Amino acid sequence: MAAKTVQLTPLALETRTALPTPEAAGHLNRAQQTLRIWACREDGPIRPIRINGRLAWPVSELRRVLGVA
């Protein structure tokens, strides 16, 4: 089974306020499971927003961590 590839919008051009886990992981160059572990342990560099049991990663925090203006 082939892995899904996610088309990433550059963070500088992103208009959404939060991204789903696969897109956030792609920007951070980390596995999706790493972000889920950060959310569970609450010890990562970014804290997600929980929306109906799903994780949403704030674009402003992604920009801060990656140093994107």
Count the neighbouring beta carbons within 10 Å of the beta carbon of residue 35.
20
The residue assigned the tokens 């089974």 is 1
Identify the residue whose tokens are 């920007």: 27
pTM value is 0.89
Handedness of CA 38, 55, 26, 31 (dihedral sign): positive
pLDDT band at 57 (very low <50, low <70, confident <90, very high): very high
Closest among 12, 8, 10 to 20, alpha carbons compared? 8
Type and span of the H or E element at 49: strand 49-51
Q: pLDDT tens digit string along 1-55?
A: 556 777 899 999 999 999 999 999 999 999 999 999 999 999 999 999 999 999 9
